[in-house]
Amino acid sequence: MYKVIFADDEAVFRTYFKKVIDWQAHGFDLCGEAKNGLEALELIERDTPDIAFIDINMPYMNGMDLAAKIKEKHPSVFVLLVTGHSEFEYARQALKIGVDDYILKPFDEEELIVALAKIKGEMEKRRIERDKSLKERRVWKESFLNLLISNEHADDNETIREQLETFQMGAGRIFQVASVEIDNLHEQWPDSGEIRLRKYIIANLLNDLIQIEGTGFPFNGPENRVVSLLQYSDEEAAERFTPDGYAKLCALISKHFGFGVTVGVGTAGQGISSIRHSYKESVIALRNKISMSRSDVLVYRDMTSKAANIGFYPSEINENLLIHLRLHEEEKIKSALEEIRQYIRDRQLSGEYIHMIMAGLVSLCLTYIYEIGKQVDDFLPPSFSPFEAITNKSSLDEAFEWIADLYLSVAGHSKSMKRSKSGNLLTSAREYIDAHYMDSQLKVEDVAKHFYIQPRYLLKIFKEGLGMSVSDYLFETRMQKAKELLSSGRNLRLTNVAEMVGYGDPAHFSKSFKRHTGLSPSEYEATRQRG
């Protein structure tokens, strides 16, 4: 249980802070509160909490000064500033003096849970790094849990039962497994540190959100999945399980952390042998997500059996598609692919059979690339696996959108002149963005399509040439143009400036501008006029 203190000079907010969540249920002990900086410092000296929530504006000693003193005397205390929007720039500056994070108020229960998940992930990481024996025990437990889901074990296996007792997992014998998969992980190409951070976030949110009559054990499983092993107190508790907590997990991650996850849930069963069985069901559910209506949580028991729905896929569909590709008939290519998608949807084919059809479509396109004397690397980044990309798509529509982009890129490319080198392409793409940044609908995909290349390849060129993504370049361009307009002395209305730099919503523009500069558009304009 982590010890928490909080300091704020507003009595109303202190009352709200104590009641906004059930602190004990989330693993925190509220051990003290203060109404000014001096009281807070005395509280920290006396109780040495794990976490200190500190308001920036307080009498006697403000939050910035208090944070600096805490970090000087008690560097292990996790300091989180509570700040209003008008103090946002101060909070950013505070990160430079050692403050660990900040949260904007007013905040609600959801925002606080997300902030606490990040805190617990970072503190757990620090704790394990400090304590070698704890780290070894964690690795040992994770290896054991992976053994449970990876191999068949009899219920009377004495060694396994002893290990369960060692890890305080010997009380109940009703188990259920859910597998959490990070969406499109192979396409985003995050480094290993970023993947570990994402998995920390998932594991900590699982601890907070999955409330059952029993115990949950989240751990790192195979293929970069986070596995959630649930152990129920009895059969009735298992029957009362609902996937609502997993649905909330998916929503929170998508909303606050910039990536998506999908959860596959196996069925509950009796005994040690049920663990492996439930895990396999959770993976089957994930593999069939492409055949389901878009859903973040796929429950195996709710899935309609589609294994027999194979049907007869007409070979002439692919033959006609290849003809359209050779003749560069883009509209007919789109129509042919739509016909295939409709064929799959009408017959409710299984995920396995859908993947087989789409692998054939990819193979057909790759064959044509070699037919015209080109290489796959001309259209896709080196080492990029198109078949893996298809297998990991989250929905049928998303998969066919990817295939259509590939076909249209190849069709457009084959009728154009020699492909420009990456440097020339980067220059051309920048010029295109510079000329179209005022279009609020402009996306990375639009730029890529204009040059008949895949978005991944365009991202790679920007990253190598400029050290930033295409979206970052577009954002920087819009912000620079906005600063020029605000500095022009023309006294333009906020709505006009927003529209002129590609924002349909003035409020969104204002928020983005302040995030970029630390000043609102009106504040920025005023400082330029004074200068």
| CA pair distance 448, 464, nearest whole angstrom | 16
The CATH superfamily holding the domain 167-305 is Reverse transcriptase/Diguanylate cyclase domain (3.30.70.270)
What's the confidence (pLDDT) of residue 307?
A: 46
| CA pair distance 132, 126, nearest whole angstrom | 11
**Domain parsing of the chain, residue ranges:** 2-130, 167-305, 315-415, 421-529
Taking CA 428 as the corner, what is the angle to CA 424 and CA 430, rounded to the nearest 5 degrees?
120
Pairing verdict, β 78-83 and 28-34: unpaired
Note the CATH architecture for domain 421-529.
Orthogonal Bundle (1.10)
What's the confidence (pLDDT) of residue 469?
A: 85
| β-strand partners of 32 | 5
What's the confidence (pLDDT) of residue 415?
A: 60
Question: Can you name the CATH fold of 2-130?
Answer: Rossmann fold (3.40.50)
Per-residue pLDDT of the chain (531 residues; tens, 9 = 90+): 889 999 999 999 999 999 999 898 888 999 999 999 999 999 998 988 999 999 988 888 888 889 888 988 888 899 998 887 666 677 677 777 778 888 888 888 888 888 888 888 888 777 766 666 666 777 888 888 888 888 877 777 788 888 888 887 765 689 999 999 988 776 555 667 778 888 888 988 998 888 888 888 999 988 889 999 999 988 899 999 888 999 999 999 988 888 889 999 999 999 888 999 999 989 888 877 776 655 688 888 876 544 444 455 655 677 678 777 876 778 989 998 998 888 887 776 767 778 778 888 888 888 878 766 677 777 777 666 777 777 777 678 888 898 999 898 888 876 653 444 577 788 889 899 999 999 999 999 999 999 888 888 888 888 766 667 899 889 989 998 998 898 888 888 999 999 999 998 999 999 999 888 888 898 888 776 554
| CA pair distance 245, 230, nearest whole angstrom | 13
In the block, residue with structure tokens 């108020």: 105
Provide φ and ψ at 392, rounded to 5°: -95, 5
What's the confidence (pLDDT) of residue 4?
A: 94
Q: Yes or no: say if 177 and 279 are a contact pair by the CB < 8 Å rule.
A: yes
In the chain, the largest separation of any two C-alpha atoms, in whole Å, equals 81
pTM of the model: 0.51
CA atoms 506, 507, 513, 519: torsion sign: positive
Count Cβ atoms within 10 A of the Cβ of residue 217 and give its class: 0-12 exposed, 13-18 middle, 19 or more buried: buried
What's the confidence (pLDDT) of residue 269?
A: 92
- Structure tokens, 497: 């400036």
Instruction: Note the helical H segments in 131-243.
Output: 132-150, 158-166, 185-188, 192-209, 235-239
- DSSP annotation of 28 reads E
Provide φ and ψ at 417, rounded to 5°: -80, -175
- Structure tokens, 311: 């049907």
Provide φ and ψ at 4, rounded to 5°: -125, 135
